[in-house]
Chains A and B, each alone.
Chain A
Amino acid sequence: MTATRWAALALLVVVFLSALAANMIAPAPYAKQFRQDLNRPPGQQYPLGTDELGRDRLSRLLYGMRISLLLAPAAALLSTLLAALIGGAGAYLGGVWERGTKVLIDLFLSLPWLFLLLTVRALLPLDIPAVTSVIVTFALLGALGWAASARIVAASVHDLRNSEFVLQARASGCPPLRLLLRHVLPNVKPILIAQFWISVPLFILTEANLGMLGLGVTEPLPSWGNLLRELENYAALTHSPWLWAPLISLVLVMSLFQFILSGEEYTN
């Protein structure tokens, strides 16, 4: 990694830590309403102003970032595990299993991810408690976002299964489980790690899209998605530039991910 990439990583870690410590550094709880201070512009008491319900915007942004930055990796972990399990197992077993896996992956990839996600999310109850909505949103991201990674994992396991060193190990009587654990898995591990890191920003962005459409994390819990909904009031955007803060922070974090991952992408 180059020095600038290390710097980007350090900055991302700082953002991550400040989101993690939201309850310590945020000026107020995310749901606390200051009813005497509705729609206040930024000032000493409220660095990013207050929203129409009198809640401190900076606190909501920090808590929202915490939710997205903590749960997107959890969803990415779930999707990577599913990709390894479905794509890897199918390709390793070969024959009918491999063909079946391919059809399943193609089926999931044939439907645009957002369409599938919107349909499934809309079919689940919409009037669920806020905490449940967070779990449902990110669990769905993880459960439905495995197909693209599975395709890559399946292709690499297929190549490994037919590689010379695996054939040699098989010819010398290596049992299938040992073959999988000692020869295939260690070689797939870098791909799985790369897929995990690629999925994290993708899931943050998708949650933001879902939130914008009202199907993400529900109020009063903040997330990047529902914070971005304030942009819909575009008459206020010209005279209230602080409304852009959630978008700017999202673009900043996503750019950091992009910058760090661009090296990873080329390496893989």
Chain B
Amino acid sequence: MSLKAVGRQLITILLTALIGGLLGATLVRFAPGFGIQESDLDAQLSSQARQALHQQDASERNVLSYYVHYLAQLAHGDFGYSRSLNRPVLELLRDRAPDTLYSLAVGVGGGWLLGLALALPATWKRSPLYSTTASLITGIFLCIPSAVLALLFLVVGSPGRLAIALIVFPKVFRFARNLLIKTYAMPHVLTAKARGLSGVRILSWHVLPNIAAPMLALAGVTVSLALGAAIPVEVVCDYPGLGQLAWRSALARDVPVLVNLTLIIALVTVTANSFSDLLTPKATRDVL
């Protein structure tokens, strides 16, 4: 991994996040109904207050100037103000980020644990019954929408965020199983087996170092997958996280919140993917 490659990745991350934010701002600006405010119907507001709100709205009409102004404010730590929730965006993000981070940790961690826990015995045993059962279980979770999965967890009285783990685990299981089967069939592993090395030693010395890089490449993909699944899960389960905030602000057409969220989500996923890309051989990335 050269310094040049790291620099290139950093520029890519920054550019993608910036273009993502601009995309978010553009979408909101050209959406039908932009500029129409509920406050116009509020009899409690004075005409001056309404005029001030309209002036604020007018400043958001030119997407490019709004975005440049937003970025300049962002450089000074000002994330803008949410009109629909009547609070500074930074405060909203700060309040809600821990919940989403917790959901992501549960989802990604649980998905990996479950996926690896099922994939390792599938490789060791090589029993058709076990393999079919494991494939069937993963297949079922690929067939259920994440919102329904979260709802099912609520029905049985369990935390809905566990649904994210069940969305992530089939991807981990399938990738890890195929990789482990290939690695266990490699000549040096067969030689180690023939020489009578223990299963634990073969796994830790000869298999894990081989699969570490490709598995790391999957890490970026699973973060993005979990982030996507977190949105319906948070909405259905009423978790006060960033997914629910995105949902509410999209419905209320709250430009500052949406632009910040697009920027943050793009930044998180591109960083996760770039980090795995840097540590993974190109041949492995192409099969993901």
Residues of A at the B interface (CB closer than 8 Å) are 103, 106-107, 109-115, 118-120, 122-126, 155, 201, 205-206, 208-209, 212-213, 228, 231-232, 234, 237, 247, 250-251, 254-255, 258-259, 262
Contacts and interface: CB of A to CB of B under 8 A. Distances in A.
Interface of B: 12, 15-17, 19-20, 23-24, 27-28, 31-33, 135, 139-140, 142-148, 151, 154-155, 224-225, 227-229, 231-232, 235-236, 246-247, 250-251, 253, 258, 262, 265-266, 269-270, 273, 286
Contacts, number: 128
A125 B23 contact: no
A259 B138 CA distance: 12
A212 B152 CA distance: 13
A213 B148 contact: no
Contact of B266 (A110, A118, A123, A124): A110
A120 B273 contact: no
A118 B142 CA distance: 20
Contacts of A120: 27
10 contacts: A106-B12, A110-B270, A111-B262, A112-B227, A114-B146, A115-B265, A124-B31, A213-B235, A231-B155, A247-B144
A255 to B, nearest CB: 5
B128 to A, nearest CB: 13
Contact of A251 (B16, B144, B247): B144
The dominant DSSP class at the A interface is helix
Contact of B151 (A113, A123, A234, A258): A234
B251 A119 contact: no
Contacts of B27: 119-120, 123
Contacts of A205: 143, 145
A261 to B, nearest CB: 10
Contacts of A247: 144, 148
Contacts of B12: 103, 106
B34 to A, nearest CB: 8
Given A123-B28, A231-B151, 9 more contacts: A109-B269, A114-B232, A122-B247, A206-B145, A209-B147, A212-B145, A231-B148, A234-B155, A255-B143
Contacts of B236: 212-213, 232
A231 B236 CA distance: 11
Contact of B250 (A109, A112, A118, A237): A118
Contact of A234 (B135, B154, B232, B286): B154
A110 B269 contact: yes
B223 to A, nearest CB: 10
A113 B224 CA distance: 9
B246 A118 contact: yes
Nearest to B23: A107
B147 A118 contact: no
Contact of A112 (B151, B231, B253, B286): B231
A110 B20 contact: yes
A232 B144 contact: no
Nearest to B147: A212
B140 A213 contact: no
Nearest to A102: B12
A206 B143 CA distance: 11
Nearest to B32: A125
Given A111-B265, A111-B269, A255 B227 contact: no
Contacts of B15: 103
Nearest to B286: A155
Given A112-B231, A255-B143, A118 B247 contact: yes
B32 A258 contact: no
